[in-house]
Chain A
Amino acid sequence: MSETVEAMSETVEAMSETVIDTRHLTREYSRDEYKVVALKDACLEVQKGEFLALMGPSGSGKSTLLYLIAAMERPTAGELRVLGQDLNRLSDGEIAHWRNAHIGFVFQSFNLIPVLTALENVELPLKLTHLKKRERHEHAETALKLVGLSDRLKHFPRQLSGGQEQRVAIARALVTDPDLILVDEPTGNLDAKSANEVLEILAKLNKDYSKTILLVTHDPHAARFATKVRYLDKGELLPEGQKPAD
């Protein structure tokens, strides 16, 4: 296992600056006797340090693309390399390890564990590393400090506002210092002020720490925080600069 991870890390280093590289990526679902094409022939390249927003209406395939990149599901056809790794070649166990080591994920509905404090939630991905307890605490505290929640370490999710919960989720996503942060509609459940705070944090992570971020959103305001925007429409990734027709 460690050999595989080392090989993966070497591949990552050997790669140029391309973090995501998809070629004709397709994902179909079978619903009874019907086939639904959620994503068709998607070709996407994301370079290191980019903050890319994927936009499109509901059902356009943006979340599907995100889940494929996160290896939460497997493509029906096409090639997918993330951080130089061909994810189709990894077993489920290796994918889990790879995800922990390289990917940070932020969900629309925060997805914190309700029985754990903010600190414990952020510490959770570090439990899969070789870090000692004290080191895990230090890393988690640092991540929470980065998102401005150093005074909420012992608070449970129910004791936090929506915006604070999402900031905890961001801290959890970045605590392992991932190469890629995937963000799925992060402001969907937030008021305008909290949404701005969250988006500013993401922008700061990209600008100050050169984090590669892939943001899925249907909110044009959120997309403005990204450095680049691509649109999807009816399962197709439109060429750069092209917007879907109304």
Chain B
Amino acid sequence: MGRYFPLVWKNASRNRRRSLLTISSLALSLCLLGLMMAIYHALYLSETDPAQALRLFTRNRVSITLPMPAFYLQRILAVGGVKQAMEFQWFGGAYKDARDPKNFFARFGIDPNKIFTLYAEMRMPEDQKKAFQSERTACIVGRRLAEKHNFRLGDRITLQGNIYPMALELVVRGIYDNELDPESLYFHWEYVRQAMPGRDQLSAISILADSPDSVPRIIHAVDEQFRNATVQTRTETERAFGLSFLHMMGNVKLILFSICAAVTFTIMLVSANTMAMSVRERVREIGILKTLGFRPSAILGIILSEAMLIALMGGIASYFLARALCGVIRSGPAFSSELMTLTIRPQVALVMQLAAVMIAFVSSFVPAWSAARINILEALRRTD
């Protein structure tokens, strides 16, 4: 088949504009397919970071948006295998103009004396840690968030609460580095608690297990402890907790699968149309090849190869496009820590190329088969 490659190449490039458009549409569609697969892989299949593997979250069993009593924290600390536990309270609120998406970032109320134990991967100079821990209105911000808003040490940040009707006046006392969480703001939850003494409730409690073996035991023990309480809990891994935010949008897996299926089907139609047009234009030439002694199998192979060549070019372009898009997503708003490491892994790249080949095969087989079986004289009589 290799000796037919020059013919395959020339056929594929005979109508450059059409081939380029087909390659582009394949590249864009396969890029979207690859991106969806990469997101799926990152969210559901990638290995958990060792630090993350020890962390759990407890929340209201009914919904993440409903609170639970703050005293649960003390009860959880008493559970065997729990090394540390801390309130992890979503504050919400608005920074400057809330309509500007740039001003949206995560703000959590935490315990400044525990956070660096629970999140050991957060790196910050010791003097900044101490400054943060010693001042009730202090806050720390992620490096990327600081760069985005030009926050510097000593800057004042005002958050206008919506869940909590108060204005939170904060001072930046530290800038931390954490690849998994570069765009959050953390402040003393005690500050809010003191300002609003009646609201002794929490929406989430972050737990650090003493070993990976303790994780399933803690999950069971914590939830069992509140089984008969008014507010029951759900304890889950940090990843599952993060995903529960995403699942508020709907069935993410189904959405991802639906997009993948729609993209694959659409591009198959586009590709089939292109190949059908391409073959239809060349029926006479196929007749010539047959006259010269080309067997139907050779004709079939040539046309299928042509489709696969175009599809593979689209597939390769889609890989680079998807990689670039992953970079854009990584540098975008940090919706999920899993997406902070989003990349096109080799297995996803392979699936993209296999999808390209499969699309080429399915879309070109019928026109190629018809061309291979066409009667020579009928083919030679075609004038268009």
Contacts and interface: CB of A to CB of B under 8 A. Distances in A.
Interface of A: 67, 70, 72-73, 92-93, 96-101, 105, 107, 111-116, 120, 124-125, 127-128, 133, 172
B147 interface: no
A221 B287 CA distance: 29
A37 B2 CA distance: 44
Contact of A111 (B295, B377, B380): B380
B288 A111 contact: yes
* Main DSSP-derived SS at the A contact region: helix
A70 B293 CA distance: 11
A96 B380 contact: no
B149 to A, nearest CB: 58
A73 B292 CA distance: 15
Given A73-B377, A93-B295, A127 B10 contact: no
Contacts, number: 64
B293 A97 contact: yes
A115 B11 contact: yes
A119 to B, nearest CB: 11
Given A73-B377, A111-B380, A128 B6 contact: no
Nearest to A92: B296
Cβ-closest 10 pairs across A and B = A100-B293, A115-B10, A125-B292, A96-B295, A72-B376, A115-B14, A111-B288, A99-B293, A96-B293, A127-B3
Contacts of B284: 111
B296 to A, nearest CB: 7
Nearest to B287: A111
* Main DSSP-derived SS at the B contact region: helix
A99 B6 contact: no
Contact of B291 (A98, A99, A115, A120): A99
Interface of B: 3-4, 6-7, 10-11, 14, 284-285, 287-298, 375-377, 380
B292 A128 contact: yes
A125 B7 CA distance: 12
15 contacts: A73-B376, A73-B377, A92-B296, A93-B295, A93-B297, A96-B290, A97-B295, A105-B291, A111-B287, A116-B7, A120-B6, A125-B293, A128-B292, A128-B298, A133-B3
Given A115-B10, A127-B4, A70 B292 contact: no
Contacts of A100: 292-294
Given A113-B288, A128-B298, 20 more contacts: A67-B377, A72-B377, A73-B377, A93-B295, A96-B294, A96-B296, A98-B293, A99-B293, A107-B288, A111-B284, A112-B288, A113-B7, A113-B285, A114-B285, A115-B14, A116-B7, A124-B289, A125-B292, A128-B292, A133-B3
A188 B285 CA distance: 20
